Structures are given as structure tokens and as C-alpha cells.
Amino acid sequence: MDVSWFKVFRLASRDYFHEALMSACFVLALAAVLGPMMVLFGLKFGIVGAMVDELIENPRNREVRPVGRGYYDQAWLDQVRARDDVAFLVPRTRSIAATIELNSEFSARIVSVELTATGQGDPLLQPDSPLPEDTTSVVLSQSAAEKLGVAAGDTVDGSLARRFRGKQERVHLPLRVAAIAPARAFSRDGAFVSLALLEALEDFRDGRAVPALGWEGEPADTHRTYPGFRLYAQTIYDVAALRDAFTELNVNVRTRSAEIELVQRMNRNLTAIYWSIAIVGLVGFSLSFGASLWANVDRKRKDLSVLRLVGFRTADIVWFPMVQALFTAILGWALAVAIFQTTSLFINEMLGPQLESGQKVCRLLPWHYAIALLLTCIAAVLAAGFAGFRSARVEPSDSLRDL
């Protein structure tokens, strides 16, 4: 003849809500400690998260740039491209030859743009944006597109001139605008083009023939070398290793590894600071929560004795404070979540304008809420169970006569 768990649950909840004021105090006391801790963690997570996101998302942080002029041939570049830690590599041509003058029917201006070679998987371009094909299309930088008054799908006229055998020559070629690059990809007037087009323009300027475009000149060079390349590491964490590998090959490179290290160090330091505060907070929280639950069980000793007197078993009695502690834990957690939501809304609203869109200074993921709830419930069950067990062990006659 066991007393069903449901009866204990019913009695415990009746008691809990009968003493609504007292229960509200316990809930408030819990939320007052848990709420600020959630805000603290939200800030740490939000700030460091934003910094790391910025590091990872901005491809410039993954770039490895050779310094000075080099002579890199296709075979060497292919070898580098084959490395696992290299995400994207495209050769550069001589920068003095990598310009073209553009003109469109929508604007009277002639815009001279810098050309950058691109290709499949270029992190500067949107992953789903169309790539410039061969010698017929380009991806314009935002500033160039604005000056030319064109949008994706329009056609612009490209022209360039050379001095050849004593004569000034100018050639034109129609270029379709395949897409407009995002603003952060290239801030000046520029265009992303295929390597083939860049090579053709360089050849033309050097006085060589470009049969594909019908441009005349000296026969083309058979062994082409490039003065530089544009390389992106797979992740920011590969940058340092790549830099070392290039140094070993006697290629001087410039990277952002110093900045990356700075953020990583900051992350470590902030995490350490956070944890020292969090551990102090957690200890304080456990003590205050445990103490209030303990005091509550002690206060209810007589009622619990009455329950034993009418035949509730020790195991049933222990459930009584545990059910009530769980109520406090869940309600207190809910209130703490409300405190966190309000505070983080306020913080994000206040600092929002200084951030890139979509970034938040103070935020938590759903599983953070779940962890907070779980920890609170475990603390509640432990403290209340321990206190309940202790009071259930006392001979009921002792506590019955107290009052």
C-alpha cells in the first residue's frame, strides 16, 4: 500500500501555492542571482562570438599575400593550390597592366577600373554569384557599377590602348556585367575578371598578339610567369602554418596572423575572466539557493511530521520539499530568462548602431537556456533532497512537540 507519488505532488503544490507570498520570495531570490549571471554569460558569449565571427567571416583575415615581385609559374602555383590548408588561389598579373577603361550608355563618364583575377570559390565574391566567363563578362565592384550606372545583365564597353611599333592603338571589347560584388570585396573602382582576360590584356599591352580577340602583335610567350598571387587559407587557424611554409620556400608573405592571435588571446582572457566571475557567482548562487531551501524544509518540519504521522513514508516525505524546490527552480529560471531577455534587448538596442547588422553584444543560444535550467533543477533537487532526507530522519515525536 504505497502512497502514490501523485498525492505527494498534489499536497506539495497545494502548500506551495497556498504560501504564494513566501514562494514568490524564493522565486525572486533565485532569479536575482541567476538573471545577472545569464546576462554576464550572454555578454561574454555575444562579444567574443562577434569578434570570432568577424575574424572567420572576413576573408581578408585568411589572406596570405606575397610581398614584392616574384616569378611564379603555373606548375608551382598548382602545387601550392593542392595543399589542404589552401582554400583559394589565383595568380596576379602585373598591376600596371591590370586596368581597363569602362564606359556605359547610362553614364557619360569613362571609369578606369583595377582588375582582379577571380575563379571558382573566390571568398571575396558571394558563393552563389555568377562568375565572369572567359573574356566576355566581368563582376563589377559596387563603386564602379554606381559610377557607370549599370546593374547585373547590362553590357559595358571596355577599352585599352598601347603604343605599338610607334603607333597609338586602341581596342574595344564588349563586356557583360555578370554580377555586382559586395561592397566589402573591393572598395575602389574595380572589376573581377577571368584570368584569361587579364592575360589577354597584359599580352596586348606588351605588344603581343591575342588571336582569340583578333588583336595583332608579336607571337605569345610560351612560358608565362606571374609576379604574385591571391591566396586564402582554409580557416584563420591555418594562416600561421601557411606563413611558415612560405617562409621556408623563401617567399616573403604578409598575413593578419598578429590580429588573429590578438583576438584569440582576448578570447582566452575574457573566458578566464568570465569563468572566475561565473564560479564565484555559481558558488554564491548555490549557497543562497541551498540555504533558502534548507531553511524552508526546516520551517516545514512540523507539517512534514504530520504527514509522517498519517503514514507517509520517508521516501515520500523527501519528495515533498523536492517538488517545491523544483517549482522554485522552474519559476525562478523563467523569471531569470525574462530578466535576461529584457536586459539583453536593452543592451543590444543601445549598442546596436555600432555593430554590423545581425550582430548582438548580448545573446544566448537555446541550449544555454536549457543548461541553466538543468543546473538550477539539479541544485534544487540536491539541496531539497538532502534537507528533506535529514528532516525525514528525525523522529517525528521530536518535531511534533516543537510548536
Binding site for other proteins (CB under 8 A): 1, 3, 7, 11, 14-15, 18-19, 302-303, 306-314, 395-397, 400-401, 403
Tell the smallest beta-carbon distance from residue 388 to other proteins (Å).
15
Of residues 21 and 403, the one with the C-beta less far from other proteins: 403
Tell the smallest beta-carbon distance from residue 328 to other proteins (Å).
16
Tell the smallest beta-carbon distance from residue 387 to other proteins (Å).
19
What is the distance between the alpha carbons of residues 281 and 84, in angstroms, rounded to a whole number?
A: 44
Of residues 8 and 37, the one with the C-beta less far from other proteins: 8
- Strand segments, DSSP code E, in 181-302 are 190-193, 225-226, 228-233, 253-254
Q: Which residues does residue 112 pair with via DSSP β-bridges, in sequence order?
A: 101
Check: CB of residue 153 under 8 Å from CB of residue 176: yes
- Please work out, in degrees rounded to the nearest 5, the angle formed at the alpha carbon of residue 122 by the alpha carbons of 120 and 124: 150
Of residues 238 and 316, the one with the C-beta less far from other proteins: 316
Of residues 41 and 320, the one with the C-beta less far from other proteins: 320
N- to C-terminal Cα distance for the chain?
Answer: 31
Q: Residue 265: how many CA atoms within 13 Å on its side-chain side?
A: 6
Of residues 109 and 299, the one with the C-beta less far from other proteins: 299
Residue among 152, 235, 226, 228 at smallest CA distance from 191: 152
Tell the smallest beta-carbon distance from residue 395 to other proteins (Å).
6
Of residues 75 and 310, the one with the C-beta less far from other proteins: 310
Tell the smallest beta-carbon distance from residue 8 to other proteins (Å).
10
Q: Hey, is 67 helix, strand or coil?
A: coil
Q: What are phi and psi of 378, to 5 degrees?
A: -65, -45
Q: Hey, is 138 helix, strand or coil?
A: strand
What number of H helices and E strands is found in the chain? 11, 12
Tell the smallest beta-carbon distance from residue 315 to other proteins (Å).
8
Of residues 16 and 226, the one with the C-beta less far from other proteins: 16
Which distant-in-sequence residues (6+ apart) come within 8 Å of 145 by Cβ? 151, 177, 180
Alpha-helical segments (H) within 73-213:
74-81, 142-148, 195-205
Tell the smallest beta-carbon distance from residue 299 to other proteins (Å).
12
Tell the smallest beta-carbon distance from residue 45 to other proteins (Å).
42
Of residues 94 and 302, the one with the C-beta less far from other proteins: 302
Reading across the β-sheet that carries 63-66, which strands appear in turn? 86-92, 228-233, 63-66, 253-254
Of residues 13 and 159, the one with the C-beta less far from other proteins: 13
* Backbone φ/ψ region at 31: left (φ over 0), alpha (ψ -120 to 50), beta: alpha
Tell the smallest beta-carbon distance from residue 311 to other proteins (Å).
2
Alpha-helical segments (H) within 190-256:
195-205, 239-248
